[in-house]
Structures are given as structure tokens and as C-alpha cells.
């Protein structure tokens, strides 16, 4: 399959054309005299010239920005008062004018008021938690925040917080009581804690949690809240257009590539201590074994310079000091779990997040072998397509499974939120000789058809694709293409997520020849829509499964249709393409599988569970009386017990590591442990079981020849 690199060039060319069609962005003069105003000016410029579906910045949008912004600041209505809202409302239809004039009056007002109100709340929660709660009192807490108004006074706000803190304490208290009741009273050291003691301990835990919460909130700076304001504006165009500050952009790139340069640890901050909470397999810390989970990093020193105390820093700022280029040294002064203080030299390196990458297993059923490839996202290194990416990895996994002698293939795209469009085209080309994969349409260019052209097929055996409501974007392109070619049977939810748009990341710094404000970040902007080769869009409608299976998300609000400001569904002309026609019993297998699913007691239980979840989601009141709270938990638990069979199900499939991965067992001491944990989950997976049933039923005809070798 020829690597279709043209789309990356095409996408960038479209974005550049959109700007240069009216003005050269590099030469445009931006008049702003501070960073915030410059960001508004830049982002407005990019959106107006680059977005697929530009909307008018008018009073209607101003109203929507107003509500989105306040929802982001205080969606639970815990800080602002009704008087604040009335004052803010004076600007409801002026935000559009302020954006055009680069006027920050509304933002400045809300930001200063939020800081004030949060400080008021921070000063009062300790007082509320200093006294025991009356858990015999008949009262409840309402979680339907959309239907609530802001508190009318500080007194009513305090009452709302009293209930919120009481609920938090009640949850902790219940756990403590259960733990106490489960203690073994025959143990000599056993001492039964009184109700008052447990209630006091629960309030202490709640207070500590609140202290941690406000520590995090107090670390947020003005620029962090300004990012919220900016995104409240850009989200009016569609749910996937977002402003990335420089740190967010780095995190986005890392999530897409599955790798970063650093020491190989995940950190958290609590009580002014930055601690290691996870050590990433394969990273420098894992290899050197000089640190462990729970160690506290206090000082950071680079190769040149003095040590910097990071304990009072924001976590993000501390991480910037700890991360660094591959091969460079960093010296960490660490308080070990045992209390010793050590300075540890760490040579930074490339850290690979293996859980982000494709992995495979051989499924054994009786004397048959089948292959399963789990693909969590369509990852890519935006700097170089030659680096590790989803297409290269899936190709290698297919080769590995072929060498293992599998007779059918499952591609698991459940919970795969998408990623690189380029990798989708390349992966789809592994399973057909040649033909179109997807159509991409922009506002200024004719529709671009992305094709596989090489006339070769890596895998020509039976295929099943697993999806659910959280399979989105790139996942939907692959599933749709395989469905349109009748190359694979798609099994899963009634429809997938329904994201049929393409985003490009625009570096805002490229619009300025020089800037005194440092890195301005980037804008992820919707520039295109993609369409199936049959002409239909996956926007809103997603991909309809050939075999529909119930799952826990079935009746809850999940999907593009439930987002704010989604783009509309439409259709364009279909392409000429030839269906695969390799199956002798394609339709019959789909019907047979659907009958099995409909009659399967486990799938019926899952559907009942999904309906119960919907019912619980719509229950917006929680009792604050202890006995009522316990009664509800016990009632829910008794009802949930009937679904235990779902968790305890055994599909009687045997999962093994492919021969190609066997050598990793000796190189990576927890590789086998991770695989066994995955296999344990797969052994309970009835969706995988039904996928195997389909593979067993599918009969391949004219395409049963030996596949062509691929390089």
C-alpha cells in the first residue's frame, strides 16, 4: 500500500490558502498592545479565515458565549451570587462588540469577582466543618444544577455549601462505618470507634480534601481563566475548535504521539508536596530503579545552575523544570518514602507510553486461532510520519498474527476517540487491494478523495470491527470504509460517536515576525468534513453497526449529537467503488449473529443495566439523612447484584501472546503482567466472544489465495 502522505500536505495547504486568500497572515498588522488582546485578535483572524463553518459574531453568539463562559466558571453555582449574575447580565449582548474591539471589560469583571467569591468560600468551609453534622435530619441535596439559580445571598450560598460538605462527609462516613463493621472483633487490638469519632474523622477527611482542592484552585493564574474565556468564544463554532496554551499544546502532541522526553514519571501535588505516583515502564527512572512511587521531589537542578525549590510551585511549572531534552541530565533532591534525603542524577530520555499503542493477542478456540488487535487511538508524531505511528504498528501486528497462523481478525476500536486521518487511510489499505477510503471536503477546495493505490492486500481473511458509542472520528472512518466495502462486519452499539469533522492545529506564533509575549500557543480548528465513500457523512449519525449489541452507554447522553454547537449532517456525491465480495455468506452471518445477541441472556442483562443507569442518571436528589442514604445504597446494591453475572462471565476463550512478542517477556519484567491483566479482562468479554463467533461463521471465497507479502 502506497503511503498516502498527500493528505498531510493537503490539510496544511488548505489552512494556508484560507488565510492567504484575503491577506498574507505574516504581514497582517496586529495592533494589540498586550498578550490577551493579541490572542483575541489572532484567534478571531484565524477562525474567520480558516473555520469550515464560519458563523456571525453577533448578539446571538454573544448570549451563547455568556452562558458557556459562566457555566465553565461556576457551573454548579457554588461561588457567584444572584447579584453577580445580574451585574454580569448587563454584558450578555455586548461580548461580541467587546471581542471586536479587543475590550476585556467583561472578562476582567468576572475574573476579579470569581477570585473574590472563591476566597469567601475558602474562608468559610472550615467553620462549617468544625461542627458535627446532624445526620438524623430529613433533608436532601439537589444535583440538578442547570435548574438552579445562583444563591440570593451569602447566607444562602453558605447553606448550599453546608449541604455540599455534608454530602461529602456522609460519603466518607458511610465508608468508615462499613470498614468498622467489617473489623474482626476477636482481634486483641480491636477497638470499636464511636459514632462521634467516626463522624469527626469523616469531617477531617472532607476538610483535607477541600484544602487540596483550594490549593489547586489557588495555583490557577489569570491567564488560566483567560483561556476559559477564549474557549467559550471558539467553542461556539463547533465542539472541537479549541485554543491550546503552550502547555496544553505540549500535552496534545504527547497524547497524539504517545511519547515525550523526560524522566518517565507521573507526578501529583498534595499538601505542598510533589510526589511520584507512577513510574512509566521503559523510562529512565524505571531503568535506573533509583526512585519509587511515593518519593517526594523537593529540588531540581539542571546541568548548569543552582537547585530550584519546587515545593511552592504549580505542578505544571515544576514539570517544565523536570522534563527536558533526551540525553540531558537533571539532578533531583528527593525525600524518599523512608524519610531519607538524596540527590539523584537522572539522564533524560525518550519515554514511550505503551498503553497508547496498538497491541495484539492470539485467541484460541478449540483447534482454531484468531487474532485481535486493540487500537486505543490513531496516534502519530506530527513532526515526522516516519516515526512510530498507528499505521506502522497495526501493519506489524497483522504480520505477527499471520505468522502465528490466525484464521480471522478482530480490530477493536471501542473507546477509540480518533486521531490522525493519515493513519486511517494507511490502515484501511491493509485490507483491500485498492480504492477510495474517505472523502474530505473543505470550504475552499473541491472534495479530496484519499485512496489506497498499491493493488496489494496484507490481510484477505475474515474480519470483524468492534465499536461502541465512544468510537469517534478516525475510528468511524475506518469502520465506515470497511462497512461500505463489505470487507468487515461491524459489531457494537447502534451507532458510533458521530464526529465527522477534521481539525488542524494552527501555530499562532507563525503570524508574527517577532513577539515580546513568548509562546502564544495554538488553535485547533475545524477545517474540513469527511464523508464515507458512499457519500454519507458520519457527522451526528456515526456508523450504524451491522450487528447491534447493547452496552452500558445505550440510553445516556453520549455522542456528538449531545454536544453543544455540533455541525449538521449532510451528504455529498458517492464514489464509484467495488465491494470486496470475498464472503460467501455475508448477510446470513449478520442475521445469525443478531439472533444470537438478541437471545443471549448476558446481552439482555446489559440492556437492563443500561436502562437502570439511565434511571439513576435522572435521579437528581440525594438524601442527607444517614439511614435514608444507607437504605438507598443497599437498595441499589441489591438491584445491582442481578448484574453480577455480567462481571463474572467466562467466554471460554484462551488468549496468548503472539510469538513475535514472546521475546519481550525476558526484556520487560512487567510486560507479561500487563498482558495477563488484559487477557483476564478479555476472558470476560462477551463482545469479543460474539466477534469470534462471526469469524467462525464467515466463509471466504475468491479471496482465499495466499496474501501478497508487504514491505
> Closest by alpha carbon to 293, among 275, 312, 317?
275
- The cell numbers describing 357, all together, are 499503542
Mark which of 304, 321, 352 sits at the end of a domain. Answer: 352
Cα(239)–Cα(526) distance, integer angstroms: 9
- Whether residue 711 is predicted with pLDDT greater than 70 in this model: the reply is no
User: Among the three residues 291, 326, 352, which one is the final residue of a domain in this structure?
Assistant: 352
CB neighbourhood size of 151 (10 A): 22
The percent of residues in the chain predicted with pLDDT above 70, rounded, is 92
Mean pLDDT in residue range 265-279: 81
| pLDDT for position 554 | 85
Answer yes or no: is 14 within a domain: no
What local confidence, expressed as pLDDT, does residue 28 receive? Answer: 57
Asked if residue 663 lies in contact with residue 630, where contact means CB atoms within 8 angstroms, the answer is no
Q: Is residue 404 part of a domain?
A: yes
pLDDT tens digit sequence for 116-129: 999 999 999 999 99
List, in sequence order, every residue forming a beta bridge with 530; answer none if it has no partner: 440
Q: Which three cell numbers stand for residue 291?
A: 526512585
Domain finish residue from 335, 352, 369: 352
Same-domain pairing of 293 and 162 = no
**pLDDT for position 116:** 97
Residues 6+ apart with CB under 8 A from 187: none
**pTM of whole model > 0.95?**
no
Distant-in-sequence, close-in-space partners of 477: CB < 8 Å, separation ≥ 6: 421, 424, 428, 437, 438, 530, 538
Same domain, 442 and 577: yes
For β-strands 296-302 and 273-279, DSSP reports them as antiparallel
Is residue 214 located within the same domain as residue 229?
yes
SS3 404: coil
Residues 480 and 441 in one domain: yes
Do 210 and 72 reside in the same domain of the chain? yes
Longest CA pairwise span in the chain (Å): 83
Clarify whether residues 326 and 394 are in a common domain. Answer: no
pLDDT at residue 32, as a whole number:
60
Which among 300, 298, 345, 291 is positioned nearest to 321, based on CA atoms? 300
Mean pLDDT of the chain: 88
Query: What's the average model confidence in pLDDT over 431-439?
Result: 96
Distance CA 64, CA 232 (A): 9
**Residue 514 in this model has a pLDDT that exceeds 80:** no
Between these two residues, 629 and 553, which has the higher pLDDT value? 629
Question: In 3D, which of 259, 273, 359 has the Cα closest to residue 312?
Answer: 273
Based on the fold, state whether residues 323 and 399 are members of the same structural domain: no
Residue 184 has pLDDT above 70, yes or no: no
Predicted pLDDT of residue 8? 37
- 215, three cell numbers: 490549593
Total domains, the chain: 3
DSSP string, 178-224: HHHHHS-TTSTT--PPPHHHHHHHHHHHHHHHHHHHHHHHHH--HHH
My answer on whether 70 and 208 are in the same domain is: yes
Q: Which helix (H) or strand (E) holds 240?
A: none
pLDDT-wise least confident of 23-27, 128-132, 465-469: 23-27
Q: What is the mean pLDDT of residues 678-691?
A: 95
Alpha-carbon gap, residue 165 to 180, rounded angstroms:
22
Whether 286 and 405 map to the same domain: the answer is: no
Read off the pLDDT of residues 461-493 as tens digits, 9 standing for 90 and up: 999 999 999 999 999 999 999 999 999 999 999
The CATH number assigned to the domain holding 295 equals 2.30.42.10
Give the number of other Cβ atoms within 10 Å of residue 149's Cβ: 9
Higher per-residue confidence, 1 vs 81: 81
Residue 628 domain flag: no
C-alpha cell belonging to residue 236: 461556539
388-413 per-residue burial string, b: 16 or more CB within 10 A, e: under 16: bbbbbbbbebbbbbbebebebbbbbb
Based on the fold, state whether residues 473 and 538 are members of the same structural domain. yes
Q: Residue 302 corresponds to which cell in the numbers above? A: 539542571
The answer to whether residue 289 scores a pLDDT higher than 90 is no
Q: Is there a contact between 492 and 549 (Cβ–Cβ < 8 Å)?
A: yes
Residue 266: DSSP 8-state: E
User: 618 in a domain, yes or no?
Assistant: no
Examine residue 245 and state whether it is found in any structural domain, yes or no: no
Euclidean distance between CA atoms 71 and 74, whole angstroms: 5
Q: What's residue 16's pLDDT? A: 39
Residue 375 lies in a domain: yes
Q: For residue 243, is it within any domain?
A: no
Dihedral, CA atoms, 590, 595, 600, 602, nearest 10 degrees?
A: 50
Cβ atoms < 10 Å from Cβ of 262 = 23
Please list the residues that pair with 450 across neighbouring strands. Answer: 438
What is the mean predicted confidence (pLDDT) over 356-364? 93
Question: Residue length, the chain?
Answer: 711
**Backbone angles phi and psi of 342, in degrees to 5:** -135, 150
Residues 347 and 371 reside in one and the same domain: no
**Domain around 463:** 355-503+525-597+651-697
SS3 sequence, 473-513? Answer: CHHHHHHHHHHHCCCCEEEECCECCCCCEEEEEEEHHHHCC
Mean pLDDT of 376-403: 89
CATH of the domain at 544: 3.90.226.10
Give the CB-side neighbour count of residue 708, counting CA atoms within 13 A: 12
Which carries the bigger pLDDT value, residue 283 or residue 477? 477
pLDDT recorded at residue 708: 37
Which pLDDT tens digit goes with each residue over 606-655?
A: 999 888 888 887 888 999 999 999 999 898 888 888 888 888 999 999 99
Amino acid at each position: 500500500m502506497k503511503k498516502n502522505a498527500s493528505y498531510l500536505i493537503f490539510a496544511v495547504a488548505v489552512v494556508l490558502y484560507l488565510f492567504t486568500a484575503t491577506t498574507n497572515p505574516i504581514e497582517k498588522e496586529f495592533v494589540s498592545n498586550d498578550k490577551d488582546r493579541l490572542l483575541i485578535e489572532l484567534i478571531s483572524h484565524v477562525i474567520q479565515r480558516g473555520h469550515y463553518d464560519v458563523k456571525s459574531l453577533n448578539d446571538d453568539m454573544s448570549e451563547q458565549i455568556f452562558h458557556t463562559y459562566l457555566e465553565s466558571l461556576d457551573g454548579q453555582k457554588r461561588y457567584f451570587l444572584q447579584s453577580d449574575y445580574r451585574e454580569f447580565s448587563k454584558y450578555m449582548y455586548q461580548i461580541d462588540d467587546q471581542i471586536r474591539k479587543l475590550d476585556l471589560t467583561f472578562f476582567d469583571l468576572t475574573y476579579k469577582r470569581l477570585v473574590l467569591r472563591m476566597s469567601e468560600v475558602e474562608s468559610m468551609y472550615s467553620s462549617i466543618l468544625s461542627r458535627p453534622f446532624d445526620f438524623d435530619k430529613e433533608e436532601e441535596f439537589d444535583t440538578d444544577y442547570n435548574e438552579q439559580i445562583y444563591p440570593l445571598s451569602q447566607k444562602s450560598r453558605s447553606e448550599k455549601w453546608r449541604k455540599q460538605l455534608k454530602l461529602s462527609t456522609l460519603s466518607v462516613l458511610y465508608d468508615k462505618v462499613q470498614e468498622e463493621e467489617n473489623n474482626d472483633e476477636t482481634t486483641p487490638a480491636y477497638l470499636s470507634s464511636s459514632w462521634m469519632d467516626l463522624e469527626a474523622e469523616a469531617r477531617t477527611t472532607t476538610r483535607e480534601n477541600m484544602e487540596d482542592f483550594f490549593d489547586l484552585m489557588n495555583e490557577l493564574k489569570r491567564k488560566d481563566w483567560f483561556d476559559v474565556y477564549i474557549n467559550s468564544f471558539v467553542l461556539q463554532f463547533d465542539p472541537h475548535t479549541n485554543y491550546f496554551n503552550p502547555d496544553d499544546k505540549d500535552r496534545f502532541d504527547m497524547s497524539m504521539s504517545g511519547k515525550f522526553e523526560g524522566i518517565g514519571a507521573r507526578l501529583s501535588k498534595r499538601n505542598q508536596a510533589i510526589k511520584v505516583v507512577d513510574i512509566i515502564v521503559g523510562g529512565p527512572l524505571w531503568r535506573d530503579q533509583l526512585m519509587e512511587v511515593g518519593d517526594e521531589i523537593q529540588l531540581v537542578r539542571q546541568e548548569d545552575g543552582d537547585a530550584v525549590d519546587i515545593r511552592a510551585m504549580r505542578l505544571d511549572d515544576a514539570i517544565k523544570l523536570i522534563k527536558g531534552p533526551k540525553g540531558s541530565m537533571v539532578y533531583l533532591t528527593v525525600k524518599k518514602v523512608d524519610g531519607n534525603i538524596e540527590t539523584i542524577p537522572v539522564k533524560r530520555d525518550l519515554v514511550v507510553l505503551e498503553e497508547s499503542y496498538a497491541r495484539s493477542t492470539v485467541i484460541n478456540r478449540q483447534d482454531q486461532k484468531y487474532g485481535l488487535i486493540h487500537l486505543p487511538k490513531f496516534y502519530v508524531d506530527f513532526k515526522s510520519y516516519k516515526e512510530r505511528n498507528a499505521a506502522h504498528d497495526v501493519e506489524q501486528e497483522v504480520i505477527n498474527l499471520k505468522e502465528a497462523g490466525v484464521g480471522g481478525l478482530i480490530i477493536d476500536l471501542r473507546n477509540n476517540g480518533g486521531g490522525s486521518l493519515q493513519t486511517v487511510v494507511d490502515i484501511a489499505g491493509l485490507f483491500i487491494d485498492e480504492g477510495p477510503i474517505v472523502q474530505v471536503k473543505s470550504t475552499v477546495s473541491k472534495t479530496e478523495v484519499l485512496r489506497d493505490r498499491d493493488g496489494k492486500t496484507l490481510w484477505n481473511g475474515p474480519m470483524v470491527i468492534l465499536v461502541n458509542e465512544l468510537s469517534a472520528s478516525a475510528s468511524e472512518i475506518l469502520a465506515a470504509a470497511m462497512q461500505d466495502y463489505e470487507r468487515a462486519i461491524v459489531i457494537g452499539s447502534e451507532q458510533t460517536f458521530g464526529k465527522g469533522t477534521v481539525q488542524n492545529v494552527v501555530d499562532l506564533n507563525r503570524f508574527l515576525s517577532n513577539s515580546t509575549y513568548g509562546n502564544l500557543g495554538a488553535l485547533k480548528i475545524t477545517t474540513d468534513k469527511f464523508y464515507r465513500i458512499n457519500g454519507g457523512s458520519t457527522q451526528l449519525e456515526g456508523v450504524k453497526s451491522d450487528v447491534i449489541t447493547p452496552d452500558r452507554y445505550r440510553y445516556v447522553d453520549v455522542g456528538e449529537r449531545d454536544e453543544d454547537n455540533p455541525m449538521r449532517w449532510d451528504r455529498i456525491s458517492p464514489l464509484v467503488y467495488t465491494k470486496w465480495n470475498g464472503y460467501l455468506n455475508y448477510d446470513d452471518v449478520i442475521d445469525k449473529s443478531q439472533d444470537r445477541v438478541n437471545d443471549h441472556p448476558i446481552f439482555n442483562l446489559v440492556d437492563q443495566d443500561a436502562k437502570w443507569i439511565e434511571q439513576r442518571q435522572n435521579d437528581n436528589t440525594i438524601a442527607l439523612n444517614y439511614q435514608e442514604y444507607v437504605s438507598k445504597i443497599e437498595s441499589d446494591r441489591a438491584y445491582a447484584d442481578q448484574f453480577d453475572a455480567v462481571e463474572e462471565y467466562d467466554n471460554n476463550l484462551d488468549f496468548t501472546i503472539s510469538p513475535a512478542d514472546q521475546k519481550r517477556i525476558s526484556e520487560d519484567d512487567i510486560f507479561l503482567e500487563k498482558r495477563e491483566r488484559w487477557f483476564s479482562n478479555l476472558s470476560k468479554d462477551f463482545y469479543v466472544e460474539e466477534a469470534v463467533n462471526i469469524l467462525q461463521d464467515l466463509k471466504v471465497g475468491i479471496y482465499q489465495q495466499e496474501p501478497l507479502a508487504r514491505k
